[in-house]
Amino acid sequence: MNIRTVITGTGCYIPPVIKPNRDFIAQDFYSEDNQRIQAPPKEIVEKFREITGIEERRYVTEDMNSSDMATIAAKLAVTESGIDPEELDQVIVAQNFGNVIRNTIQTDVLPALASRVKHDLGIRNPDCVAYDIIFGCPGWVQGIIQADSFFKAGIAKKALVIGTETLSRVLDMYDRDSMIFSDGAGASVLEARPADETNSGILSWSVQSHCTEEAYYLYLGKSNFPGADSRIRYIKMKGRKVYEYAMQYVPLAMKDCLDKAAVSIRQLKKIFLHQANEKMDEGIIRRLYKLYGIKEIPQHIMPMTIHKFGNSSVATIPTLFDMVKKDVLDDHDLEAGDVILFASVGAGMNINAVCYRM
């Protein structure tokens, strides 16, 4: 029997703490070689906004952790789907830093965040398998791909896939790149449906990992501040390398995904791209259409939340998708039959894409 993987419920959690760009103006920034950057902080922050599009971002409150946000988003997704949580075969949580204990840089991943979410949802069914995946920013999309694979193998029928992250707790305040990152969580319930009963579902996917010189484009390293304790590590990024990698490989993965689905790019209603950097995302879209010989990009093809929410890693696509699906964003909506594309890039380096029909 042919199976279609259908998203039947979504939910998200956007943290309440707003961190505007102006909060960074009083901050001194240092380079990788621990030299103070001489440009005025206000000039650094403004240049940052021009490149990334980020005006503000969201941070969690002190009493919240990644698993807490994941549970909130999960409950909303389960409620919308109408399923009994005990029917879930899998709880998949995409994350990269676990629960980072506030006022420390220590990661807590024992038990796994998926186990905590299953516990918080009160699921007693032992056949519901809970596990985490670490795949960089494309983690939520990879969770969708894994669920689809399990469904088509006949191993599972219902799955909860969550992306959650508290990047605000692994930031080096002296590093300009720290202004990019934020917190959030998004969740989706997926169900296996017979293909002859639905027109909706996953049509195709594409995924790659490049782990030679690209493996350490994102990594954990010591603070840029001179004399900082080298034992304490923060998220670090080789921004130019990440940009060049994404521009080269992400459009190719997106095209590969569309071609596998035998879907024309002109059929796409929306492209849900990882909210990493406004200029980079716009460049990726331009290159994708260029691969098809198209110069004019459809208006409103790519929803964006990065201006107000920043880059919340694995949470960017599921939160964005939930908002568009629920008509929260202006100029963006979805209807039954619309064809959309999810695509992401991140630490590893990893890229993936999923073509989906609503």
Domain with CATH 3.40.47.10 in the chain: 3-194, 201-357
- At the top level of CATH, the class of 3-194 is alpha beta
- Give me the pLDDT at residue 171, please: 93
271 near 258, Cβ under 8 Å?
Answer: no
C-alpha dihedral (149, 151, 156, 159), degrees to nearest 10: 80
- Say what the pLDDT of residue 103 is: 74
How confident is the model over 300-339, as pLDDT tens digits? Answer: 999 999 999 999 999 999 999 999 999 998 889 999 999 9
pLDDT at 338: 96
DSSP structure string for 257-313: HHHHHT--GGGEEEEEE--S-HHHHHHHHHHHHHHTT--SPPTT-S---HHHH-B-G
Query: How crowded is residue 210: how many other Cβ atoms within 10 Å of its Cβ?
Result: 15
Average pLDDT for 168-196: 94
Span 264-284, mean pLDDT?
Answer: 95
Rg (CA), the chain: 20
Helical spans, DSSP H, in 132-238: 139-152
Which residues are bridge partners to 94 per DSSP?
A: 133, 163
Which class in CATH covers the domain with range 201-357? alpha beta
Residue 36: which region, alpha, beta or left (left: phi > 0; alpha: psi -120 to 50)?
beta
Q: Is the pLDDT of residue 357 over 80?
A: yes
At 1, is the pLDDT very low, low, confident or very high (cuts 50, 70, 90)? low
| pLDDT of the residue at 102 | 78
Predicted TM-score (pTM) of this structure: 0.94
**Contact in structure between 53 and 278 (CB atoms under 8 Å):** yes
Find the helix or strand (DSSP H, E) in which 322 lies: helix 316-325
